[in-house]
Amino acid sequence: MSSIDTPLDLTLDGGALTARLVDFPSVSGDEQALADAVETALRAYPHLRVDRYGNNVVARTGLGRAERVLIAGHLDTVPIADNVPHHIEGDLLYGCGASDMKSGVAVALRLAAGLTEPNHDITYVFYDCEEIEASRNGLGHLATAHPDWLAADFAILMEPSGAMVEGGCQGTMRAQITLTGTRAHAARSWLGDNAIHHAAEVLGLLAAYQAREVEIDGLKYHEGLNAVRVDGGVAGNVIPDECVVTVNFRFAPDRSVADAEAHLREVFEGFKLEITDSAPGALPGLGQPAAQAFLAATGGQARAKFGWTDVARFSALGVPAVNYGPGDPDLAHKRNEYCSLAAIALVEERLRAWLTD
Amino acid sequence: MSSIDTPLDLTLDGGALTARLVDFPSVSGDEQALADAVETALRAYPHLRVDRYGNNVVARTGLGRAERVLIAGHLDTVPIADNVPHHIEGDLLYGCGASDMKSGVAVALRLAAGLTEPNHDITYVFYDCEEIEASRNGLGHLATAHPDWLAADFAILMEPSGAMVEGGCQGTMRAQITLTGTRAHAARSWLGDNAIHHAAEVLGLLAAYQAREVEIDGLKYHEGLNAVRVDGGVAGNVIPDECVVTVNFRFAPDRSVADAEAHLREVFEGFKLEITDSAPGALPGLGQPAAQAFLAATGGQARAKFGWTDVARFSALGVPAVNYGPGDPDLAHKRNEYCSLAAIALVEERLRAWLTD
């Protein structure tokens, strides 16, 4: 049987190559062996220039085409949960990363090996540490160290999207709203000022909040403003002097991070509010010619991406980007994660048609 | 210098005996040596019958008087915090337990030794583990094992009360109100149901709650209903499916525990509410003849006790009880705890006058 010491064979069909990749453990932080195998396999193809930075591998055609398309996939997975090696039941290939996103990586590797004369120049990016803290994200490291390697007119992230184009992504912002009061013994509560009671108004604003829905480039976005944590209390006999409500605002990509912060400060006017982290959204960019052609080639249907993805990194670099991959987004990170073999074949076929028509 | 091996000398004046007791460490659970010393000292006085159960010492006169008064003090202290041995600055004796309540114990021991022919029969109770969980309270153990030792017409607990009679005590009840919802990813919050947002209504009820003030036997009680903890949240990107608000209800002694529970269920009607613990209050009982005479002897002024004290245990045994001790209740459990030497002398003088007039 194959093992991590067996070279990757990029002539296997998409399903078989996905199975091979699932059986090649690469939990976040432990991608080196797989990055080595990917690099070695790609270096066998003379139409590609292969570069490496850390455990990130970038392969590019250099045909002088008018436009360059970037196809990217992360090599890492969430921790294995008794779901390696893979197994197949009918059309479904089960295993860690089957959906998120070794099926997408398999398609990208197949295209890289097979498309010697594509109609656009293509940059293939295989990167590490997508599933963990943003500071370790390989795409982020490449953007800092070798931004020229990521130059492109349009980018496709092969994240699980159910073989449907998902455009843009919503931004996310977390903030802490701190209510203060005065501590006292609960037996003489009138000597204190209960900070938890002050949170009533904040939670009331959240409960009554009408989240905006907005259409951008034909895609419908749906915002959300929610408490994700509330924490207050000193002891069972003490009037608490502090209560913190942590909120998470998911905002449509027509708002910048600054707009989102201004909105939160307006909603919670008069309260002490501190932004603890944020990430911008990404506009779908489906008005771009390359995106239009891609969309037509993949069936003409697109939907909004609500979750935050690395699409936003490309957006920040000025590269319109979409998610398009064979995996099912609802299965990502689940123990029974699987991918449809038919979806793997379909996504490859459509990309191949678009890039060679 | 004295040590825990030196017998207690009950002929020392109240301040000197308090100092001696402060220097005799007896943190809750570690009262045996002090209980031994108290027992030995009291057994030297033939007008007293001395009994012992665990680290609880009970000394009684048996003069056949019409009424019996019980005077009680706990032997234990909260943990020592660099405040042993004692020191004296002017009128103030500093040290662990100076206020809560070795000054009260010193007065009780002095009365026990000196009042050979009091006008009431007197029962002196020195007990352990008052500062920790109720299940270990020595008075509770005595009430179960030897209820006859505690029989009395009126009881005085020498807890710190600023040399003023404090009558009755409020009851306390804790309850958890659990809000539920449906978990979802924060990026698609409309698929979930935010349990923290549901807490808005509960906190709103608390913020708007008008606490009752009520006069009983001439003492003003002041109730309170407060959140003492709120806790909800799963992760920064998850719509939480549970939020728990813990409330503490302090209720005047004209409500029973059952009344208090019914009131909470009425205030939070429609919410899932669970009572987690409760303790009944105690009526001041100042209408009783013995209490009236005691009140007159100590200056005629009384105030309500808001915090829960062992007074409620006597109330449950059918014995009217008050707090009356030289310590300052605001200093209890503080590192810089102290007691006024003048207050120690005053409280002893008034009790002695009342018991010998």
Burial B204-216 (b: 16+ CB within 10 A, else e): bbbbebeeeeeeb
Q: What is the Cα Rg of chain A in Å?
A: 23
Phi then psi for residue A42, to 5 deg, are -70, -30
Tens of each residue's pLDDT in chain A, 357 residues: 456 778 999 999 999 999 999 999 999 999 999 999 999 999 999 999 999 999 999 999 999 999 999 999 999 998 898 899 999 999 999 999 999 999 999 999 999 999 999 999 999 999 999 988 778 999 999 999 999 999 999 999 999 999 999 988 899 999 999 999 998 888 889 989 999 999 999 999 999 999 999 999 888 999 999 999 999 998 888 899 999 999 999 999 999 999 999 999 999 999 999 999 998 998 887 877 778 888 888 888 888 888 788 888 898 888 888 999 999 887 767 778 999 999 999 999 999 999 998
| Residue in this structure with the two tokens 């919802």, named with its chain if needed | B181
Give which of B287, B320, B338 is closest to B87, Cα–Cα. B338
Measured distance CA(B157)–CA(B171) in Å, rounded:
17
pLDDT computed for residue A3 by the predictor: 63
How many helices (H) and strands (E) chain A has is answered by: 9, 19
Nearest to A232 among B185, B229, B239 (CB): B229
**Per-window interface: A 302-331 vs B, CB < 8 A:** 306-308
pLDDT computed for residue A15 by the predictor: 97
Percent of chain B with pLDDT over 70: 99
Q: Which residue does chain A place closest to B172, by CA atoms? A: A187
Q: What is the Cα Rg of chain B in Å?
A: 23
Using CA atoms, how far residue A287 sits from A123, A156, A222, A295, A321, in Å, is 21, 15, 20, 10, 11
Amino acid code (one letter) for B3: S
B211 and B225 Cβ atoms separated by less than 8 Å = yes
> Helix, strand or coil for residue A236?
coil
Report residue A134 CA to chain centroid gap: 11
- DSSP structure class, residue B128: S
- How far the first Cα of chain B sits from its last, in Å, is 38
Q: Is B76 a catalytic residue?
A: yes
Measured distance CA(A213)–CA(A224) in Å, rounded:
9
∠ Cα B189 B191 B195 (to 5°): 65
Provide, as residue numbers in chain B, all residues whose Cβ is less than 8 Å from the Cβ of A232.
227, 229-230
Neighbours of A187 (CB within 10 A): 20
Neighbours of B137 (CB within 10 A): 22
Provide, as residue numbers in chain A, all residues whose Cβ is less than 8 Å from the Cβ of B197.
203, 206-207, 226-227
B242 and B232 Cβ atoms separated by less than 8 Å = yes
Measured distance CA(B41)–CA(B31) in Å, rounded:
15
Quick check: B1 pLDDT over 50? no
Quick check: B278 pLDDT over 60? yes
- Please report the ipTM that was assigned to this predicted complex: 0.76
Handedness of CA A287, A290, A293, A299 (dihedral sign): negative
Per-range mean pLDDT, top range of A240-249, B273-282, B325-334:
A240-249
Measured distance CA(A213)–CA(A288) in Å, rounded:
23
Q: How many CA atoms lie within 13 A of A72 on its CB side?
A: 32
Q: Which residue does chain B place closest to A306, by CA atoms? A: B187
My answer on whether omega of the bond before A101 falls inside 30° of 0, hence cis, is yes
- DSSP structure class, residue B101: I
Which of B196, B210, B311 to mutate: most A Cβ within 10 Å? B196
Phi then psi for residue A201, to 5 deg, are -70, -40
Phi-psi region of A88 (alpha: psi -120 to 50; beta: other; left: phi over 0): beta
Report residue A16 CA to chain centroid gap: 25
pLDDT computed for residue A137 by the predictor: 93
- Inter-chain Cβ pairs, chain A and chain B, closer than 8 A: 160
Percent of chain B with pLDDT over 90: 75
Provide, as residue numbers in chain B, all residues whose Cβ is less than 8 Å from the Cβ of A211.
189-190
Quick check: B113 pLDDT over 50? yes
Q: Is A274 a catalytic residue?
A: no
∠ Cα A181 A185 A190 (to 5°): 60
Beta strands (DSSP E) in A98-167 are 121-127, 154-157, 165-167
- DSSP structure class, residue A24: S
Measured distance CA(B324)–CA(B346) in Å, rounded:
11
User: Which parts of A126-232 fold into alpha helices (H)?
Assistant: 138-145, 195-208
Q: What is the dihedral of CA B259, B262, B266, B270, to 10 degrees?
A: 170
Residues 6+ apart with CB under 8 A from A190: A184, B211, B222, B224
Q: What is the dihedral of CA B273, B278, B284, B288, to 10 degrees?
A: 110
Neighbours of A121 (CB within 10 A): 18
| Residue in this structure with the two tokens 């005077």, named with its chain if needed | B71
Beta strands (DSSP E) in B162-283 are 165-167, 171-180, 184-185, 213-216, 219-222, 224-233, 238-239, 242-251, 272-279
**Per-window interface: B 194-223 vs A, CB < 8 A:** 194, 196-201, 203-204, 206-207, 211, 222
A52 and A39 Cβ atoms separated by less than 8 Å = yes
Phi-psi region of A173 (alpha: psi -120 to 50; beta: other; left: phi over 0): beta
Amino acid code (one letter) for B298: T
My answer on whether omega of the bond before A240 falls inside 30° of 0, hence cis, is no
